[in-house]
């Protein structure tokens, strides 16, 4: 499927899920939707009928709170049924509000930040030691880069030349209580990542061509772990949510949902 259509569909589905569940974190789910769409349509190797296929690429959503657009993608490609999405956040559902490995296609649970990258590094290290070809993708939030464990991991990944590892930072500039540059400034982020020994690519995280080009550059890299710094907009695609901290928490009411869907379908 074309990645733009894929992105539209997972945005819509995400909005419906948080609306129905009165759940939080729609802003971060929308900011990463294009990254997810490009990964699932043009980059990652997977087989929805065989979630444990050995040669599959590994994907870890470390910013596990933004899981709705990932869940929607899993349904879109057939790991789970679309109807499963309607159970999101309901009693007894495996679709928790932080991503769960109990769901087919999900490698790793997340929720507490700063866990996904070291875990993915272990998987990438296993590929290196076993001379396997799968790649490991880890999608991180920007606020999550406050966690020291990520920097431990980056130092380790560069030292061990884990070039089959690709971290993507969804740099939407807003974290839980404010702008990243006010809470704990990450800048100069690219320079820091370069200094840690990574192959750093900076792109517009909503430009599918640019994202795809970055992933192709990652595939050519033979030495360093790649980090794609994806500049994004929190709440992307729904104008009243864009760059608005409140939508880290709020869920749209009926009217807001209608307006949001209408805008995305335009």
Q: Which residues form the interface with other proteins (CB under 8 A)?
A: 101, 107-109, 111-112, 114-115, 117-127, 129-130, 148-149, 152-153, 155-156, 159
Angular region, 51: left φ>0, alpha ψ -120 to 50, beta rest: alpha
Closest distance of CB 138 from other proteins, Å: 10
For other proteins, the closer CB: 125 or 259? 125
For other proteins, the closer CB: 38 or 103? 103
Closest distance of CB 227 from other proteins, Å: 15
Cα(168)–Cα(191) distance, integer angstroms: 15
Closest distance of CB 155 from other proteins, Å: 7
For other proteins, the closer CB: 130 or 133? 130
Q: Identify whether the C-beta of residue 226 lies closer than 8 Å to the C-beta of residue 252.
A: no
For other proteins, the closer CB: 108 or 238? 108
CA-wise closest residue to 88 among 108, 103, 107, 106: 103
Closest distance of CB 182 from other proteins, Å: 26
For other proteins, the closer CB: 30 or 108? 108
Closest distance of CB 145 from other proteins, Å: 14
For other proteins, the closer CB: 122 or 207? 122
Query: Can you tell me whether residue 88 is helix, strand or coil?
Result: coil
Question: What is the four-CA torsion angle of 84, 90, 95, 98, rounded to 10 degrees?
Answer: 150
Closest distance of CB 96 from other proteins, Å: 12
Query: Can you tell me whether residue 141 is helix, strand or coil?
Result: strand
CA 54 to chain centre: 22
Which spans in 85-232 are helix H?
A: 116-130, 148-159, 180-183, 189-195, 208-220
Per DSSP (E only), the strands in the chain are 58-61, 136-141, 165-171, 174-175, 178-179, 199-204, 226-231
């Amino acid at each position: 499927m074309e990645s733009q259509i894929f992105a539209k569909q997972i945005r819509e589905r995400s909005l419906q899920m948080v609306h129905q569940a009165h759940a939080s974190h729609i802003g971060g789910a929308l900011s990463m939707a294009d990254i997810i769409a490009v990964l699932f349509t043009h980059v990652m190797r997977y087989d929805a009928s065989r979630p444990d296929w050995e040669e599959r690429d590994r994907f870890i959503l470390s910013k596990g709170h933004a899981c709705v657009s990932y869940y929607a993608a899993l349904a879109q490609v057939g790991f789970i049924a679309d109807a499963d999405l309607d159970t999101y956040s309901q009693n007894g559902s495996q679709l928790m509000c932080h991503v769960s490995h109990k769901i087919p296609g999900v490698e790793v649970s997340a929720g507490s930040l700063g866990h996904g990258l070291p875990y993915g590094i272990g998987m990438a290290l296993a590929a290196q030691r076993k001379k396997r070809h799968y790649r490991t993708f880890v999608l991180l939030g920007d606020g999550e880069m406050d966690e020291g464990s990520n920097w431990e991991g980056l130092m380790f990944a560069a030292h061990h030349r884990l070039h089959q590892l690709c971290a993507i930072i969804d740099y939407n500039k807003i974290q839980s209580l404010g702008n990243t540059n006010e809470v704990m400034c990450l800048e100069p982020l690219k320079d820091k990542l370069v200094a840690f020994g990574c192959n750093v690519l900076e792109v517009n995280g909503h430009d599918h061509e640019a994202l795809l080009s970055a992933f192709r550059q990652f595939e050519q890299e033979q030495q360093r772990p790649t980090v794609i710094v994806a500049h994004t907009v929190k709440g992307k695609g729904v104008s009243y949510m864009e760059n608005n901290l409140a939508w880290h928490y709020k869920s749209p009411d009926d009217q807001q949902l209608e307006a949001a869907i209408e805008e995305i379908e335009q």
